[in-house]
Amino acid sequence: NITVNTELTISNTGQTFAMAYGTSGKFLIMYSSGSGSVSHYCKVCTVASDGTISQGTAVEFASSTDIEYPRCVYAPELDKFLILYTKSSDSNNGYCRVATISGTSVSFGTEAEFCGDDCDGIAAAWDSKNQKFAILYNGANDYLYAKTGTVSGTSISFGSGTQISGNYAALRPEVVFSKLSNSFCTLFRNPNNSSGRLSAKNFKINGTGFTVES
């Protein structure tokens, strides 16, 4: 059986959005708000034991740009989130920031660019063994690449890009981490195939890069 609690309004003009669960009943929610010169916010929402939701104050992480492909990933060993997005004001290049929850508020580290090409999709997952993020993005020619992301305090640094797909467009990636195999699995679409083939590939962190399975 499913119990549905009272609906809570996060934003009256929400557009693109994403969320991830952290700990102690707290979620981090990303969303866009407004029209014309759109602003973008994060907000902490807490789910109580009876299922009711409360929300903290919205904190802006970007303004005066359209954002696509918002993503939010939690790293339990760090107790931090990574928020990712592309910015139309910068040719849809890929950016991210480390986010930290304190009570019902959220703070951000400095914005960092992980992809200098027009992205047609981004994704990320946390490797609990190596304690690094894997960040996936469509780079040159829309080939699928991955970079390791290492967090120090509220900053993040990246390894060099590793090509995950073959020499073809690999769009709208999704990625998950398996603690059983200590590896990632990515799912992506190949629109150049006549039927729009959906493909999966396995890879794992190797130093600051990745080893990709055939």
**Residue 110: pLDDT band with limits 50, 70, 90:** very high
Identify any residues that bridge with 21 across adjacent strands, giving them in sequence order. 27
What is the structure's pLDDT at 36? 61
Closest CA to 99 of 157, 22, 45: 22
Q: What is the pLDDT of residues 41-100, one digit of tens each?
A: 999 999 998 888 999 999 999 887 888 899 999 999 999 999 999 998 889 999 999 999
Higher pLDDT, 188 or 33: 188
The rounded distance, in Å, linking the Cα atoms of 134 and 125 is 5
Q: Could you give the CA distance from residue 81 to residue 98 in angstroms, rounded to a whole number?
A: 6
| pLDDT tens track for 195-207 | 778 999 999 999 9
- Reference 157, options 135, 136, 185, 140; nearest CA is 135
Confidence of residue 15 (pLDDT cuts 50, 70, 90): confident
In order of 51, 130, 169, the CA distances from 2 in angstroms are 11, 37, 40
Tell me what the mean pLDDT of segment 88-117 comes to. 95
In this structure, are residues 88 and 66 in contact, taking their beta carbons and an 8 Å threshold? yes
pTM of the model: 0.93
Q: In this structure, are residues 105 and 121 in contact, taking their beta carbons and an 8 Å threshold?
A: no
- Tell me the percentage of the chain whose pLDDT exceeds 70: 98
Q: What is the pLDDT of residue 184?
A: 98
pLDDT bin (cut points 50, 70, 90) of residue 2 is confident
CB atoms within 10 A of CB 80: 21
Please give the structure tokens belonging to residue 10.
């996060």
Please say if the pLDDT value at position 194 is more than 80: no
- The whole-number pLDDT of residue 5 equals 83
Query: What sign does the CA torsion over 35, 15, 18, 208 have?
Result: negative
